[in-house]
Amino acid sequence: MTRGWAQPWPATGERPPVSGVEVSAVEVSGVEVSAGDVVGFRRRARWLGLVTILWALVGAAGCNDSFDPPSLVNHLRLVALQADPPWVGLGPAERSVLRPKVVGVATGAPLCHAYGLCLTTASKDGSFGCLDERMLVDLGVEATAAVDGGDVLAALAGAQRWAAEQGLSRDGAKPPSADGSGPALNVQVLVGVAEAAAFPSGCPAGIEAWLAAGCQDRDRCVIGTKTLRVATGDSDRHNNPTLDDLLVGGHSTAAQAPPDFSPGEIALTPVWAPGSLEPIAADAASGPVKESLTFSWFSTAGTFDQQRSYDAEPDNVLTLKASDDVVDVVVVARDGRGGVVWREARLRLQ
């Protein structure tokens, strides 16, 4: 198991830029970006840089109408990263498989991948990295990856050594335990995806090499992060939602392609399994409180009535022009607890 980052984080808080970062808070990619609980360690302003970037992007989007809508796929995009299950346990058998949803690349085009697990930070330029080389666990360079309790414990052991050296207080916090008696904990999965052509000398050998090289071409290379819950009790263990179908113009796409459509408005409806929304709390008056789904929409052409829809009103409408010809549509569903799933369909115009 390889760990480490070649360039330590300088005292100024600045690190070499890792370009190509896409931030979900403004629906540029839909990949989750959030700060995890670092075992109770105190670290002020760790996420100030990321907050600054978010405000800058939101402000820019509001002042310039020339930006492409977040739903438009016109280059490589990492729109989701599924962890199945959406948590990782501390036992070696409690593993989670990581699967990315990449859009905007030609079918069969060679891609580079890299995965890592660590306690992350973000600098002012939006770059991702580990606070210290001992907190990074390499998860491989295949199209999918897996993370288990051994990986989590390796990152935590490095974090504890780093905190002790820095003289940081843990307020008496204990490491998480399998019986749920420890503190709540999230860890971060780093993922890099790129067209192979973005690295003329070959795909990076791992996440450490990827962070050192960075993404020089934002249209062909991205790096993002996903929060992964460490399950220390039964309440942390849940499933990804399930989408049974994506209706296009009222036609099912579960088993076959939809018919050709005329240009204009096309209705889209995601269909999820009845038991897909799991209870998350109990209310004495109304009964179990269940998860709710948020749907993010993406397409290679056309315009949506809305960038997001919700389970109470999940429908959306895609408007296409005669010149759009063939259009790929992807809908990504999230349950608000790290669970994610997607469905896609290819539309052809008459």
Task: Say if 124 falls within a structural domain.
Answer: yes
Of the three residues 232, 251, 267, the one that is the final residue of a domain is: 232
Q: Which pLDDT belongs to residue 199?
A: 92
CATH number of the domain at 256, please. 2.60.40
Query: Are 216 and 263 contained in the same domain?
Result: no
Q: Which pLDDT belongs to residue 4?
A: 31
Task: Say if 296 falls within a structural domain.
Answer: yes
Confidence label for 129 from pLDDT (cuts 50, 70 and 90) = low
Query: Are 254 and 319 contained in the same domain?
Result: yes
Domain that holds residue 173: 24-232
Q: Which pLDDT belongs to residue 328?
A: 97
Q: Tokens 């450490």 label which residue?
A: 208
Confidence label for 35 from pLDDT (cuts 50, 70 and 90) = very low
Task: Say if 9 falls within a structural domain.
Answer: no
DSSP annotation string for 93-143: T--EEEEEEEESS-TT--EEEEEEEE-EEE-TT--EEESSGGG-EEEESSS
Task: Say if 317 falls within a structural domain.
Answer: yes
Task: Say if 130 falls within a structural domain.
Answer: yes
Per-residue pLDDT tens over the stretch 294-322: 999 999 999 999 999 999 999 999 999 99
Task: Say if 165 falls within a structural domain.
Answer: yes
Is the pLDDT at 16 greater than 60, yes or no? Answer: no
- 280: exposed, middle or buried (Cβ count in 10 Å: 0-12, 13-18, 19+): middle
Per-residue pLDDT tens over the stretch 257-294: 999 999 999 999 999 987 888 888 776 677 788 899 99
Higher pLDDT, 236 or 76: 76
Confidence label for 29 from pLDDT (cuts 50, 70 and 90) = very low
8 A C-beta contact, residue 272 and residue 333: yes
CA distances (Å), 208 to each of 18, 139, 159, 239, 324, in order? 12, 10, 17, 30, 41
Beta-bridged to residue 310, according to DSSP, are: 294, 313
pTM: 0.76
Query: Are 329 and 220 contained in the same domain?
Result: no
Closest residue by Cα to residue 45 from 109, 122, 141, 108: 122
Query: Are 154 and 273 contained in the same domain?
Result: no
Higher pLDDT, 289 or 163: 289
Query: Are 66 and 39 contained in the same domain?
Result: yes
Is the pLDDT at 238 greater than 60, yes or no? Answer: yes
Q: Could you tell me the two tokens for 114?
A: 């890299």
| 279/287 Cα distance (integer angstroms) | 10
Average pLDDT over residues 245-249: 97
Query: Are 100 and 192 contained in the same domain?
Result: yes
Closest residue by Cα to residue 229 from 107, 121, 337: 337
Query: Are 223 and 75 contained in the same domain?
Result: yes
Query: Are 113 and 180 contained in the same domain?
Result: yes
Average pLDDT over residues 42-69: 46
Of the three residues 173, 202, 232, the one that is the final residue of a domain is: 232
Percentage of the chain beyond pLDDT 90 is 47
Task: Say if 1 falls within a structural domain.
Answer: no
Confidence label for 11 from pLDDT (cuts 50, 70 and 90) = very low
Query: Are 109 and 203 contained in the same domain?
Result: yes
Query: Are 218 and 277 contained in the same domain?
Result: no
For the chain, what is the mean pLDDT?
77
Is the pLDDT at 157 greater than 60, yes or no? Answer: yes
Average pLDDT over residues 38-59: 35
Query: How many domains does the structure of the chain reveal?
Result: 2
Q: Which pLDDT belongs to residue 131?
A: 67
